[in-house]
């Protein structure tokens, strides 16, 4: 029988496990039971180094987070992460990893996001297996987290904002989310013709909604936990040496993964973390639409909120989304020459093409453009102002559809692309390879 703490590290059972196994002095000691569970895991590859301590298990999870994205990723190396018998060690290593990341890197760091995503994917895969083998367990786990018969969307706004569940996938009746089959049958059975209500339930809700809710809850609690640890650690004078040491090992895992990732890349391939000349042919339709000029009404948003971030990142740091770190314009354009000579003219030309020209009646928007580039609310774009505001990243396609639907005229290449900058990068690569 799979234990619920194998999925939910915030359950009361999981908390008991932490008190039993979580003594910090034991986290770096080899544990024979852990070793045995791992070695006895079905399909586990035994050649490579396997974790023998809880600390090593925590680090292996981080390694899995990065390695699973590599081309030559071998799932058999990490098969033990999907062995339900590991649940006690899994819980303790979960808390250890959260603490290392939050204390040493911060709860808003790139590393924290990696770990959140890793935990989300890890439990999703585990839950998908449970959905096949013991689907009734999904309700048990979910009921530990919430009352599934009486759940209203507005009571779980923070959970929904995690973004695992599209709002329109919720089956809503007067604000209540229909989760269980009995409720589904009661509400919708009379609206189903020619099919078994249970089949329809499985398609539109069933295990899918339960899995998404569970992962959203756990990701949310995990985020909150890391935030608390981060805040607490700022008040703490001396962090435990084990944490320092583990943080250093995490850094090494990152370096090693990057080496593998970039080792086989052909020379002359894309350097997306430095200034790259514009390739206007690769611009997505929305950018082309905006450059042509916008009619009165949506001009400000289109030029300031949409085009400014796109034009600046596309020219100065097109790989921002894959690099996942915060940068300033002067990190990549220290003299600001490219910004002054190429980025700003592109934005100003588009503003001039608006009907009426944007700056004619709204000259203050020049200041807003500077602000979106990270240079505060000033007339001039000067180094000393940098950092007063953030360098805004380009809007997602979903946001564009809401903010300025008039410029979103997708072509066939827009399908499954979530951000205009991603479109641009992909199209540049296709065009460089001599594609269409």
Binding residues for [4Fe-4S] cluster: 286, 397, 408, 414
Q: How far is the CB of 176 from another protein (least distance, A)?
A: 7
DSSP codes joined into one string, 116-164:
HHHHHHHHHHHHHHHHHH-THHHHHHHHHHS-TTS-BGGGGHHHHTTSS
Q: How far is the CB of 252 from another protein (least distance, A)?
A: 36
User: Per-residue contact track with another protein, 48 to 77, x per CB under 8 A?
Assistant: ------------------------------
141, 4 Cβ separation under 8 angstroms: yes
Site for another protein in 208-237 (CB under 8 A): 208
384, 406 Cβ separation under 8 angstroms: no
Q: How far is the CB of 250 from another protein (least distance, A)?
A: 30
Q: Give, in order, the Cα–Cα distances in Å from 73 to each of 203, 218, 236, 257, 266.
A: 32, 26, 39, 11, 20
Asked whether the bond before 356 is cis by omega within 30 degrees of 0, the reply is yes
408 lines the binding site for another protein (CB under 8 A): yes
Q: Which is nearer to another protein, 187 or 257 (CB)?
A: 187
- Residue 3: count of CB within 10 angstroms of its CB: 18
Separation of alpha carbons 39 and 50, rounded Å = 8
Q: How far is the CB of 282 from another protein (least distance, A)?
A: 22
End-to-end CA distance of the chain: 54
Using CB under 8 A, pick the residue from 191, 234, 263, 433 that binds another protein.
191
- The piece of 1-9, 58-66, 119-127, 407-415 that touches another protein (CB under 8 A) is 407-415
Query: How many residues at the interface with another protein, by CB under 8 A?
Result: 41
Q: How far is the CB of 399 from another protein (least distance, A)?
A: 7
Q: How far is the CB of 113 from another protein (least distance, A)?
A: 17
50, 35 Cβ separation under 8 angstroms: yes
325 lines the binding site for another protein (CB under 8 A): no
Tell me 391's DSSP state: B
Classify residue 68 as exposed, middle or buried by CB count within 10 Å of its CB (0-12, 13-18, 19+).
middle
Using CB under 8 A, pick the residue from 2, 120, 140, 171 that binds another protein.
171
What's CA 284's distance to the chain center, in Å? 23
Closest C-alpha to 169, from 118, 216, 114: 216
172, 178 Cβ separation under 8 angstroms: yes
133 lines the binding site for another protein (CB under 8 A): no
168 lines the binding site for another protein (CB under 8 A): yes
Residue numbers in the known binding site are: 286, 397, 408, 414
In terms of phi and psi (left: phi > 0; alpha: psi -120 to 50; beta: otherwise), the region of 23 is beta
Determine phi and psi for 23, rounding to 5 degrees. Answer: -60, 125
Separation of alpha carbons 429 and 276, rounded Å = 12
Using CB under 8 A, pick the residue from 40, 203, 232, 430 that binds another protein.
203
162 lines the binding site for another protein (CB under 8 A): no
- The piece of 44-52, 69-77, 170-178, 238-246 that touches another protein (CB under 8 A) is 170-178
Site for another protein in 274-313 (CB under 8 A): 298, 301
Q: Which is nearer to another protein, 170 or 243 (CB)?
A: 170
Using CB under 8 A, pick the residue from 16, 20, 48, 169 that binds another protein.
169
- The piece of 110-118, 146-154, 241-249, 416-424 that touches another protein (CB under 8 A) is 146-154
Q: Report the DSSP beta bridge partners of residue 30.
A: none
Q: How far is the CB of 212 from another protein (least distance, A)?
A: 10
Using CB under 8 A, pick the residue from 28, 146, 187, 389 that binds another protein.
187
- The piece of 184-192, 316-324, 340-348, 416-424 that touches another protein (CB under 8 A) is 184-192
Name the token pair of 199. Answer: 């089949």
195 lines the binding site for another protein (CB under 8 A): yes
130, 7 Cβ separation under 8 angstroms: yes
Q: Which positions lie near another protein, rule CB under 8 A?
A: 152-154, 157, 160-161, 166-176, 178, 187-188, 191-192, 195, 200, 202-204, 208, 298, 301, 398-399, 401-406, 408-410
């Amino acid at each position: 029988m799979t234990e619920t703490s194998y999925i939910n590290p915030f359950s009361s059972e999981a908390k008991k496990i932490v008190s039993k196994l979580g003594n910090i002095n034991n986290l770096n000691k080899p544990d024979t039971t852990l070793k045995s569970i791992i070695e006895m895991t079905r399909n586990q590859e035994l050649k490579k180094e396997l974790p023998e301590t809880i600390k090593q298990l925590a680090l292996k999870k981080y390694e899995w987070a990065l390695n699973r994205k590599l081309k030559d990723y071998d799932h058999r190396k990490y098969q033990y992460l999907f062995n339900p018998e590991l649940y006690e060690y899994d819980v303790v290593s979960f808390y250890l990893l959260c603490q290392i990341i939050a204390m040493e890197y911060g709860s808003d760091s790139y590393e924290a996001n990696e770990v959140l995503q890793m935990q989300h994917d890890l439990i999703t895969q585990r839950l998908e297996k449970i959905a096949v083998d013991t689907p009734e367990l999904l309700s048990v786990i979910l009921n530990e987290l919430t009352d599934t018969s009486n759940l209203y969307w507005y009571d779980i706004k923070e959970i929904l904002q995690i973004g695992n569940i599209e709002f329109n996938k919720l089956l809503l009746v007067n604000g209540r989310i229909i989760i269980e089959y009995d409720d589904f049958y009661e509400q919708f059975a009379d609206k189903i013709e020619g099919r078994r209500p249970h089949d329809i339930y499985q398609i539109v809700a069933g295990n899918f909604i339960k899995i998404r809710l569970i992962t959203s809850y756990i990701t949310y609690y995990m985020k909150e936990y890391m935030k608390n640890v981060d805040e607490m650690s700022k008040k703490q004078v001396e962090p435990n040496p084990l944490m320092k040491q583990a943080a250093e090992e995490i850094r090494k895992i990152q370096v090693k993964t990057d080496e593998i990732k970039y080792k086989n890349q052909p020379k002359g391939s894309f350097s997306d973390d430095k200034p790259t000349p514009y390739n206007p042919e690769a611009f997505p339709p929305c950018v082309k639409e905006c450059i042509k000029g916008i009619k009165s009404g949506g001009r400000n948003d289109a030029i300031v909120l949409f085009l400014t971030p796109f034009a600046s990142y596309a020219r100065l740091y097109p790989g921002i989304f894959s690099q996942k770190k915060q940068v300033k314009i002067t990190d990549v354009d220290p003299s600001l020459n490219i910004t002054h000579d190429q980025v700003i003219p592109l934005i100003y030309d588009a503003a001039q093409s608006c009907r009426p020209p944007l700056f004619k009646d709204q000259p203050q928007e020049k200041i807003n453009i500077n602000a979106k580039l990270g240079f505060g609310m000033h007339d001039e774009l000067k180094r000393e102002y940098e950092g007063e505001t953030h360098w805004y990243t380009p809007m997602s396609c979903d946001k564009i559809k809401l903010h300025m639907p008039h410029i979103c005229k997708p072509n066939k290449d827009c399908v499954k692309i979530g951000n205009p900058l991603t479109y641009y990068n992909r199209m540049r690569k296709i065009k460089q390879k001599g594609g269409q």
